[in-house]
Structure 1
């Protein structure tokens, strides 16, 4: 009887000691689930930032174009019905060059109406109603005057950009309204920006649906959607920038929410639910099998244990606590009776599987980040054949300098941060016009000022990548000079970030040893001597000293790296000669 009581008490103790192991299984599931969501959150967040930038740019351009249209001389003097054809011709030319424009109306203060196309509710004999509701896009840099028409004959899929029209004496004579067709704008956005992302809804700050995968929902108020109640509850319980789920018509739906800090627009993108569900189902199976194995094995072991297995049990409990703290490298020694050693082996196997799985997820995310960075800098090199290979060489030289620096100086910057900044340092050139970037010869002063913008543009792009935003100062300031005469912010001395100071030397060395349309490449020695002459003026003396040490040791070798550039130049020059 005493023996049975002892066995029961010990079995209870054993099961209680295994509860933390079961908890870590659930903890592992939660982390794996977050890793699955994180893959989507990173890619979708960047994509929605791009869409938001395109929408802001679109509305700004339409406002600017409308302002220029309002200054047209024909509109300033049109005051009678005899001028209808002239005004209509101006409107037709404007609409022809802007595919998203529907109708255009000039509503004069004297109640005369000039329209590009006759339309019910806009004719000259109708009353001038007050049915234009402002849509506050909330842009920081400039206010966009957008309106929606709210009367019964209005087209809900339209918005209007407005601009006051003044006569030649500067006196206001009316208001110009340019109609934007939301369905055409949605088609343009889908063709030029969305690509593979199709299930997207964009909501203005007033609740008007600007973009939706269902054309019938364009222009409606989001509060009127059938799924609004379920979606609203899910959004309230979720954080911005995270994947969340809700049920629509009894079906589980995954979505991503983001609010633009620039425009105030709300972006909701639906995710491929089948893909997420299948991946989470596999995790459910793994978790269930793990729980069954642990519970079954512990029940079997509980009947075979004796009083001398206390130490191995305590060891398991302590190891479990370490696992709970996130250290998946913990292992337990194989000791005790046969049943206990089986439990210890199973524990180690589980810990190894958890460690391997978390490691694979992290490695996958790292590869995703590397692919994103590679895609960015390859985009620059595909656009500019003169800089082919430049990014990788600058990265190579920058890492050589880093590897020869004092370890104490390297504590403020990691090697990976320097590598990413080097790979992204010229990404801003994607925004430089081809006639400047690809010019065959030296740039004019105006073109050079345009070219200098690439460092700031590149830094702004890198700042949008959450995991790389901290290296953007290095991208922004890699053209600063030690004496304060660089750009874009004329920083001086150690005000320049360390990454920027390293990149300045590496970038200059590669530029001088590369062939360009207006000069031949220097030898490595000539470039080396030129950099030494720039000490205290262009470059950080400490970085130049490290560069000098690495060069003297033979670390900077210029082999046949310029053959590609030379071949490109010869082909381009030959082509220009034939032309």
Structure 2
């Protein structure tokens, strides 16, 4: 008889042989999915840091421009001494939450301030400043920190000299920036999970921090941050590292701004990353349990399939010894292996489903970043509310009507992202221009035209979206070369820009504005067809005609609630703001 020990050994051998490759494949899939999660965290963090850098640089340049403009005011150039006359002038400032007091230090050491403040009463010889560096390529930002005993490490001052009519310096204008409030403002662009941000200038001083109370300190003063200090000292362009603090593990991304040389450090607790792995670990655990159970069943059947032929062979040998030469043994195949292969493929399918889910999560994260961009514009400009999504809907309809060869040049998602972000540059346009009720002056219109290039520069900072920036930059270019910002002509204009230009203009003409009433859809359609070959690409206009005549585009437009004025508006083909 075939012994029980031999059967058990065969069962154990086949079980181990089946488990080892399956568990190894599971480990590889888990490792790949885990790396995808960390790569997505790194990519998101770099995008967040670049956006924070762009936002901070834009804020400092805007405040510096305002200070420069204020220093040219006739009252300051005339050395006005009446504080009651100067106070209304000092009160006219943007970014109320971030800007604190305003001081005017005259050559005779007297000081005029927006409101009284200790240490700024005038005549002090102990007031001293040091310059903060925020730009490598130019000296446009003149930022000072007060270094005497009365100085506040949580404030910096944007400065400009005031000169009299003979161009001689007579005073120094200082506008206080509250770093605590500036940190909170920068933090608004972050998600709840990723809002630990620290900005460190080239001297090692902590300039901003979204959490904690270490603003104004030197990085060398912070205990238990040895690895952080070493990363900051190395001045690497981008570094990803882990460190432990107070018994907890943190993941961090360090990014050096190419504009200011300042370092941007973002960190997140390991628990936050582990939460994203919990679902992956659960699915993997269930899969392994199913695989182990199935492998035990297969190994048992396989050991029996091998053992029975051997037992029959031994029995046949015994029969031969007894003289029965007529005994025969059947020949068995290996069909059972196919069942194992099917089960393995099923397991691989489950792991593939898991990877696809993680990719969908990454896609959703990118969609959230894009949505936060255009929602920021909608909150600033009431006209833009709804405009972005309507333009995107029209552009995607035009994409669906393109021929297959043209559609192969870029994906539908690429056009969607470009359309959703085509007006993001309006966040940098002053409110008095963007929200003006009537028609813009020539000077205001020139400022408004800058939104396309500003928006493209912002999008280019996001690595995963940089390839769609031409659509943002070119959506106001004209086929005849009379558009902006680059006066491109014909097919020099990106296909993104040519499609968005038609969709943007159609929505602009069918939307009521403060300075003109909306056209009907049919009137707007006729105007766009009329401008083929001058303002618009004739091929795109042909696609627009087909989509409109087949009512797909018109029905989409009619499904969006809005008030439509029937009167014909003047200058209706002029490009929209």
**TM-score normalised per structure 1:** 0.73
Aligned mates of 1:62, 1:173 — CA distance in 2 = 21
Matched, 1:274 2:275: no
Deviations 1:220-266 (A, max 9, x none): 11122113213346789999667643111221123333332222222
Do the aligned residues in 1 keep the contact of 2:512 with 2:565 (CA within 8 Å)? no
Pairwise CA distance, 1:36? 3.3
Q: Which residue of 2 aligns with 1:48?
A: 49
Q: CA 1:216–1:485 in structure 2 vs 1: closer, same or farther (change >3 Å)? A: closer
SS state of the match for residue 253, structure 2?
Answer: strand
Do the aligned residues in 1 keep the contact of 2:126 with 2:148 (CA within 8 Å)? no
Do the aligned residues in 1 keep the contact of 2:157 with 2:174 (CA within 8 Å)? yes
SS state of the match for residue 271, structure 2?
Answer: helix
Q: CA 1:509–1:199 in structure 2 vs 1: closer, same or farther (change >3 Å)? A: closer
SS state of the match for residue 202, structure 1?
Answer: strand
Q: Which residue of 1 aligns with 2:325?
A: none
Pairwise CA distance, 1:506? 3.0
Point out the structure with max Rg over C-alpha.
Answer: 2
Q: Which residue of 1 aligns with 2:328?
A: none
Q: CA 1:547–1:24 in structure 2 vs 1: closer, same or farther (change >3 Å)? A: same
Q: Which residue of 1 aligns with 2:262?
A: 265
Pairwise CA distance, 1:355? 1.0
Do the aligned residues in 1 keep the contact of 2:518 with 2:564 (CA within 8 Å)? no
Q: Which residue of 1 aligns with 2:329?
A: none
Do the aligned residues in 2 keep the contact of 1:391 with 1:423 (CA within 8 Å)? yes
Q: Which residue of 2 aligns with 1:26?
A: 27
Q: Which residue of 1 aligns with 2:105?
A: 106
Match of 2:404 among 400, 404, 407: 407
Q: CA 1:563–1:216 in structure 2 vs 1: closer, same or farther (change >3 Å)? A: closer
Do the aligned residues in 1 keep the contact of 2:219 with 2:229 (CA within 8 Å)? no
Aligned mates of 2:200, 2:413 — CA distance in 1 = 38
Q: Which residue of 2 aligns with 1:324?
A: none
Q: Which residue of 1 aligns with 2:574?
A: none
The 5 A counterparts of 1:230-245 are: 230-232=227-229, 244-245=241-242
Q: CA 1:258–1:121 in structure 2 vs 1: closer, same or farther (change >3 Å)? A: same
Aligned mates of 1:290, 1:357 — CA distance in 2 = 11
Aligned mates of 2:440, 2:134 — CA distance in 1 = 39
Q: Which residue of 1 aligns with 2:423?
A: 426
Aligned mates of 1:495, 1:464 — CA distance in 2 = 23
Aligned mates of 1:107, 1:72 — CA distance in 2 = 15
Deviations 1:45-78 (A, max 9, x none): 4443443334323433443455456557787788
Match of 1:498 among 495, 498, 504: 495
Q: Which residue of 1 aligns with 2:473?
A: 476
The 5 A counterparts of 1:125-524 are: 126=125, 132-138=129-135, 140=137, 142-148=139-145, 155-164=152-161, 166=163, 168-172=165-169, 180-183=177-180, 185-186=182-183, 189=186, 196=192, 198-213=195-210, 216-232=213-229, 244-281=241-278, 283-284=280-281, 287=284, 305=302, 336=334, 338=336, 340=337, 343-377=340-374, 380=377, 389-432=386-429, 436-437=433-434, 442-516=439-513, 518-524=516-522
Pairwise CA distance, 1:545? 3.2
SS state of the match for residue 466, structure 1?
Answer: coil
Do the aligned residues in 2 keep the contact of 1:428 with 1:456 (CA within 8 Å)? yes
Aligned mates of 1:73, 1:533 — CA distance in 2 = 51
Deviations 1:28-59 (A, max 9, x none): 22332234335544554444344333432343
Aligned mates of 1:202, 1:194 — CA distance in 2 = 14
| RMSD between superposed Cα atoms in Å | 4.7
Aligned mates of 1:179, 1:387 — CA distance in 2 = 33
Pairwise CA distance, 1:500? 1.5
Q: CA 1:438–1:247 in structure 2 vs 1: closer, same or farther (change >3 Å)? A: closer
Aligned mates of 2:11, 2:232 — CA distance in 1 = 48
Q: Which residue of 2 aligns with 1:312?
A: none
Pairwise CA distance, 1:436? 4.9
Aligned mates of 1:93, 1:147 — CA distance in 2 = 22
**TM-score normalised per structure 2:** 0.73
Structure 1: runs of 5+ lacking an equivalent: 310-334, 571-579
Pairwise CA distance, 1:11? 8.1
Aligned mates of 2:76, 2:434 — CA distance in 1 = 39
